[in-house]
């Protein structure tokens, strides 16, 4: 297996619907052995997850990792708070940016990079209702355009 190969475990589609993603950043995550084994099976969800700072460190809340079935007493709480691994300068910059009005730190994706579990963090601005409506209109227009293009090609 190549060192830089990426295998996606969980994707946060809801984040793209609710937020504008201004910046992306890769971070490591502190996990225990049974959690990694469970993630290898694809048992992870970041739909309701968010990131907060606590004492100059970043933590991810609400990330659900199903307990590993063969893990018995070594399994941890599925919704426990997990520490993100970043450099101090990156943490300070992200904390400063997220303190601005309207910004939030949201996990966008969890994936394996080689043998390590990584989290893609997004510095996001919240969408208003009219922004969401515009996005939905664009999607439907694009879908209709593709459908009409496909129908035109079939008739030829």
What residues does each domain of the chain span?
Answer: 6-127
- Per-residue confidence (pLDDT) for residue 155, from 0 to 100: 67
Q: Given this model, what pLDDT does residue 147 score?
A: 87
**pLDDT score recorded for residue 111:** 93
pLDDT at res. 61: 93
Give pTM, 2 decimals: 0.76
* Dihedral pair phi/psi, residue 52, rounded to 5°: -130, 155
Percent of the chain past pLDDT 70, that is, above it, reads: 97
**Element counts in the chain: helices (H) and strands (E):** 4, 9
Can you give the pLDDT at residue 108? 92
Question: Are 31 and 116 a contacting pair, CB within 8 Å?
Answer: no
List, for the chain, all residue ranges whose pLDDT scores fall below the cut of 50: 1
Q: Give the CATH architecture of domain 6-127.
A: Beta Barrel (2.40)
Buried b (16+ CB within 10 A) or exposed e, 35-51: bbbbbeeebbbbeebeb
Of 65, 81, 58, 70, nearest to 9 (Cα)? Answer: 65
> What does the pLDDT read at residue 129?
82
């Amino acid at each position: 297996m190549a060192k830089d190969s990426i295998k996606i475990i969980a994707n946060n589609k809801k984040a793209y619907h609710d937020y504008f993603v201004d910046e992306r950043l890769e971070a490591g995550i502190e996990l225990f052995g049974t959690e990694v084994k469970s993630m290898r099976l694809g048992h992870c969800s970041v739909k309701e997850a968010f990131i907060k700072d606590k004492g100059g460190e970043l933590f991810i809340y609400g990330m659900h990792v199903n307990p590993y079935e063969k893990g018995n007493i070594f399994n941890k709480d599925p919704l426990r708070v997990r520490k993100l691994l970043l450099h101090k300068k990156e943490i300070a910059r992200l904390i400063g940016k997220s303190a601005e009005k309207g910004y939030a730190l949201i996990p966008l994706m969890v994936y394996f990079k080689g043998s390590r579990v990584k989290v893609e963090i997004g510095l996001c601005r919240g969408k208003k209702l009219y922004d969401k409506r515009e996005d939905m209109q664009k999607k439907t227009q694009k879908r209709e355009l593709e459908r009409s293009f496909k129908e035109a090609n079939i008739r030829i």
